[in-house]
Structure 1
Amino acid sequence: MTPAARRVLEAAAKLFYERGIHAVGVDLIAAEAGVTKKTLYDRFGSKEQIVVEYLADRDERWRAFLAPYLDAAPNPAARVLAVFDASRAWATPYSPKGCSMVNAHAEISDPAHPAYAIIIAQKQWMLDLFTGLVAEIAPHRAGPLGRTLMLIHEGALVAHGLHTFPDPIGHAREQARSLLADADAEAGADAGDRAAKR
């Protein structure tokens, strides 16, 4: 990406997140980036493509931000909690108004929009991440438990953006920890039952 194109994307990202996608036009993006509209269209082709690249870039940066938290966690339960730790560390500097994907979905609900697939794929990735992690703890309950953790996490992101109460992501982490402890205890009991039947 050329320096001018990078400036366009950075300006668009800031404006889209702060003001909303529909409220921001290409004239404003070009002015904020210090480029001509021709330069903007030469690189991106359309505002829709800028939205796609904005959301794809946010997703890529979030995954890169999360990776060291997951790598440093010693076991599956700790990795689940590490997702909440990473979200908490990410939220204030990068998402003070809540999740960019949720915010974008409020404006882009048409599956035909090219950015729609980015939004849905990012949330599916998060669900798959939670489900995969808990499959190592409670394999027979991985689907429902993964969905529950996803709901807790997403609710915390929304509450953070709304400033409903202090530290919703920290609160969600504690709920997740309790849920994991219950699942671990249940898995241990199931293993004991199976051993007793042998």
Structure 2
Amino acid sequence: MPAPIPVEQRERDRDALLDAAEGLFYARGIQVVGMDAVRAASGLSLKRIYQRFATKEDLVVAVLRRRDQRWRGDLAAYVERVPDAGERVLAVFDWLARWFARPDFRGCAWINAHGELGATSEAVLAEVREHKRAFRAQIAAWVDATGAPVAEPVFLLVEGAIVTAGITGEPESAGHARAAAATLLAAG
């Protein structure tokens, strides 16, 4: 009987697996990436992968959940260092512009997952909806702190900028959406 795997190694294996799967799914798409590619990229056997995640769908949900925590956390760290409430909202668009300009930018991981699996996977659909709910609440908290009743329009500007940049491959949508958000905040 093989020796049990120490907790630290299981955590490193889980991180390696999620890193590999996230990188592959985001760069190439979920459906086109087979589990053999995930195995090769992670360095883990299929048996070890399936011991941790019984299905590819379970792996996708775990990837999206972990990405949500990191992605929204990175955004919050950037935005919350800005002391002025109005400038904090506009900093969201500055952060987006930096993200859009990255060479590995492929649009919104949750919109991409929804497009591929939202109609066929209740678990993926639920995870996408949870991310969008939490993201909307995050944006609304920053906008509400300004006193302007424009949280929903600003959220839609953010989402529209992400989708537009993902499709066009051009980061300018962040600046255009920033200008529109500044107008909304000034009028509100």
For 1:43 and 1:56, locate their aligned partners in 2 and report how far apart those are by CA, in whole Å: 15
Contact 1:98-1:162 at 8 Å conserved across structures: yes
Runs of 5+ unmatched residues, structure 1 = 184-198
Matched, 1:117 2:126: yes
* Distance across 2 between alignment mates of 1:166 and 1:125: 24
TM-score by length of 2: 0.85
Tell me what 1:192 maps to. none
Q: Residue 36 of structure 1 aligns to which amino acid in structure 2?
A: S
Q: Which of 90, 96, 106 pairs up with 2:105?
A: 96
Q: Partner residue of 1:54?
A: 63
> Distance between the aligned counterparts of 1:165 and 1:66, measured in 2?
20
Aligned twin of 1:154:
159
Aligned to 2:30, the other structure's residue is in SS state coil
1:34 and 1:151 map into 2 onto residues whose CA distance is 40
**Are the aligned partners of 1:21 and 1:104 in contact in 2 as well (CA < 8 Å)?**
yes
* Deviation at residue 95 of structure 1 after TM alignment: 5.7
Secondary structure in 1 aligned to 2:146?
coil
For 1:155-176, what per-residue CA distance to the aligned partner results, in whole angstroms no more than 9, with x for missing partners?
Answer: 1111111226551112211111
**1:116-195 pair list within 5 angstroms:** 116-138=125-147, 141=149, 145-163=150-168, 165-183=170-188
| Paired amino acid for 2:78 | Y
Using the size of structure 1 for normalisation, the TM-score is 0.81
* Offset of residue 62 of structure 1: 1.0
Considering only aligned residues, what root-mean-square deviation do their CA atoms show, in Å? 2.1
Identical pairs, percent: 36
Gaps of 5+ in 2: 1-9
Give 1 or 2: higher helix fraction. 1
The amino acid across from 1:167 in the alignment is E
4+ runs of 1 displaced by more than 6 Å?
A: none
| C-alpha contact 1:30 1:36 (8 A) present in aligned 2 | yes
Cα deviations by residue, 1:140-163 (Å, 9 ceiling, x for unpaired): x3xxx2111111111111111122
Question: Deviations 1:90-134 (Å, cap 9, x if unpaired)?
Answer: 333386111111111111224852222221111112222232233
Would you say the 8 A contact 1:95–1:161 is kept in 2? no
